[in-house]
Structure 1
């Protein structure tokens, strides 16, 4: 059998996903993002774009969160098969291509995100599929589809926006011609423009969210010193009063009652003032800003993803999680009945045990990314640079714009696997065709 290695790798991976479906029906809910995505009334999101909400709306008539999670599991398995096929097409042996996609198949966090009512699994598939398509072959058609996928990724999670620009730069630098470049940008602009127009109609401004300034402001709470920043009076209300060493992690400043952000009336006004404050803070304290980013990125050196006694929303539950009354109606309306995550033993226990060791430690992942980028440069494997740089952008940008979160690193895993595989192949088959030499006429 030509693809025996892939079949051998796939069967246990499917089994792990079956454990998730049987052990944690109907889905794992993330407070409170999941409930915002499931609302029956479709509106552009304030803190996050609503692309995932649109997908849930398409699936709503089935009234089944299980359908959503099974679809997400199948999408990730399909993505692994697609990357395997691409690497095989580039000349890797079956066992090598299968080995390179095992992190997608077996990483416990990937399985967790697939089983959550969250945008992350769909985002991973959109971004990786787009990059893989461009790497496979560059034509106006593949560029258009890739651009559309990246545009959809941008309205799913805004961190996908830089990847459209990065891919356009890749096509430009590699001189594939103007047609693929235009196709990519036009196709990518369609979902982004449509969403921004929807935002304009609903909320009176073009954009994807009303919280980019808020998130950047929360980043500055790690270091901001208003004695140094000297903000104008209209921004001074956003100054933190806690000593730096006592301040909580940036995301807490977005929602907790102690946050001065909540003193500013009006969603749009709050976002604008927060953005202005953040920019002034970064310009006044650039060293402190970079120091905060570096501190966050040090978490990539942590071997254990989550400690046994660590409180985190990213652990599989050991008991049923009741849904608070304020959002129970949203979840039950979508499910058409009880929607709380149930814990069914022994399946749940088996998957919880697997979660303690079934992952790629971040130091190994970081080392793989650095080694892959270096190998791509040394071997002149330019096609490997696109997924490699896309992975780097996904990992590095959140600490600059908001804060580090384990969940934000996971989308880079398939891209790193793809980039690593491409560096191991013999030639760059995406290289533009050389122009034919003019026939000399005697």
Structure 2
């Protein structure tokens, strides 16, 4: 039954491949990743894990090959959900298949897999890492190390993975996985993160995974009141002029020429001052900071997708009816989009919309996605599973449910709400909900061992 569902999910992805060739682009993030793949380097504003993924696929000299691999990762993500629910949840084949259907058929997940962006790789690595850690009630040393490495790779793909890694280590401790397993996962993670931090230091002069204080500062613009913060240093130039109710979305403050950030010339000064202001704002208004992030996270549960920050079609996250050819606008390191894509695959990578396939996938995306209330129901089912098993420290549902909450709340808390950040929540929510109905989860782990 699951193989039939996978085949149908593969057909859906094949329609996307035939309709939008070779890929869809997210301006200008896609080209930043491609540039770092052509010349492997640790990026300043984000980790370079996805660029290394593109670098590994460059011998194919084809963005079409990249997108096919990403669609295969989407199918593999669903396979992880199915396999873990069969093994640890004891669900019948039809039940585990039902839990994996949202991953297989959510149109927005398929669309993200078709973008040159880090999200599909990140989603797979998180799901695979959680699957490996939960494969046995008490993971072996090598299993724990493998899970730690997968979540480390996720962290080097998107920085929010660091919070997921911490959640996983805490969950191992709470579940009494054993000292050796916890140490193995922690050491594997430390080696991976430490190696990347050393590479970052060699390039940029400081240890870290990236420098992104500007995003946190932009988040504080939603609530910051300088009458309460009372900044006294250079950072006071970043105070917003408008009252909170009249302020635009956080990303606008990063790119708009009228933003207070535009008054700061050097990038190094921007990082330093935005970091100082954000720290002062959060310490002065901690309740406002938390409420702003939680309120935005709740938008994930609305019936219709909220297009944020501007109204109207959000072409970056849907299959569009048309795509403009590349212009000469600079994308990264002084090179244009045509130059970067030509350097990667030997020819321009302009997107071609091919009918009738593109029309088919556009028609499907109108209704073929997980509505917010269904996501809320999945999260609630996972919470029930954790609460009902409090005597067994939450049972196996604890890790995927805590991971889902982390991925749902943290991005709008420290950056901004964006439905692109909600999609990776889906596999974890499906896992937690499936474990809530699992026979073995209800009966206890002893039955797993004896079986």
Structure-2-length-normalised TM-score: 0.91
Q: Paired residues, what number? A: 428
Matched with 1:61 is 59
Matched with 2:333 is none
| CA deviation profile, 1:331-378 (whole Å, cap 9, x unmatched) | 222121120111000000000011110111122202221221122321
Structure 1 position 277 matched with structure 2 position 273: no
Structure 1 position 24 matched with structure 2 position 20: yes
2:420 to 407, 430, 433: 407
Mapping of residues 309-320 of structure 1, within 5 Å: 309-320=312-323
Question: Does the CA contact (< 8 Å) of 2:9 and 2:105 recur in 1?
Answer: yes
Structure 1 position 37 matched with structure 2 position 50: no
Structure 1 range deviating more: 170-179 or 122-131: 170-179
3-state SS of 1:236 partner: helix
| CA deviation profile, 1:295-341 (whole Å, cap 9, x unmatched) | 31231231012579434521212113222212321122212112011
Distance change in 2, residues 1:139/1:432 (3 Å):
farther
Matched with 1:377 is 387
Structure 1 position 150 matched with structure 2 position 160: no
Question: Does the CA contact (< 8 Å) of 1:151 and 1:190 recur in 2?
Answer: no
| CA positional deviation for 1:196 | 0.8
CA distance in 2, matches of 1:168, 1:431: 20
Gaps of 5+ in 1: 434-442
Structure 1 position 389 matched with structure 2 position 394: no
CA distance in 2, matches of 1:301, 1:173: 29
Question: Does the CA contact (< 8 Å) of 1:210 and 1:267 recur in 2?
Answer: no
Structure 1 position 10 matched with structure 2 position 6: yes
Matched with 1:438 is none
| CA deviation profile, 1:120-141 (whole Å, cap 9, x unmatched) | 0000000010001111121111
| CA positional deviation for 1:14 | 1.0
Question: Does the CA contact (< 8 Å) of 1:176 and 1:432 recur in 2?
Answer: no
Structure 1 range deviating more: 37-46 or 48-57: 37-46
Indicate the RMSD between aligned Cα atoms, in angstroms. Answer: 1.9
| CA deviation profile, 1:265-324 (whole Å, cap 9, x unmatched) | 443432232121111112222333233223312312310125794345212121132222
Matched with 1:440 is none
3-state SS of 1:304 partner: coil
Structure 1 range deviating more: 357-366 or 30-39: 357-366
Mapping of residues 269-418 of structure 1, within 5 Å: 269-305=269-305, 309-325=312-328, 326=330, 327-328=336-337, 329-380=339-390, 382-418=395-431
Structure 1 range deviating more: 258-267 or 350-359: 258-267
Structure 1 range deviating more: 112-121 or 170-179: 170-179
CA distance in 2, matches of 1:185, 1:431: 24
Structure 1 position 101 matched with structure 2 position 114: no
| CA deviation profile, 1:237-257 (whole Å, cap 9, x unmatched) | 111123323321001111221
Structure-1-length-normalised TM-score: 0.92
Structure 1 position 260 matched with structure 2 position 260: yes
Question: Does the CA contact (< 8 Å) of 1:210 and 1:268 recur in 2?
Answer: no
Mapping of residues 202-217 of structure 1, within 5 Å: 202-211=203-212, 213-217=213-217
Question: Does the CA contact (< 8 Å) of 2:385 and 2:432 recur in 1?
Answer: no
| CA positional deviation for 1:31 | 0.6
Question: Does the CA contact (< 8 Å) of 2:129 and 2:147 recur in 1?
Answer: yes
| CA deviation profile, 1:39-80 (whole Å, cap 9, x unmatched) | 122221122111100111111122100111100111111221
Matched with 2:434 is 421
Mapping of residues 223-234 of structure 1, within 5 Å: 223-234=223-234
CA distance in 2, matches of 1:318, 1:332: 25
Matched with 2:78 is 80
CA distance in 1, matches of 2:127, 2:155: 13
CA distance in 1, matches of 2:104, 2:440: 27
Matched with 2:178 is 177
Distance change in 2, residues 1:258/1:46 (3 Å):
farther
Distance change in 2, residues 1:149/1:430 (3 Å):
farther
CA distance in 1, matches of 2:379, 2:346: 44
Distance change in 2, residues 1:240/1:151 (3 Å):
same
Matched with 1:251 is 251
Distance change in 2, residues 1:309/1:232 (3 Å):
closer
CA distance in 1, matches of 2:358, 2:101: 22
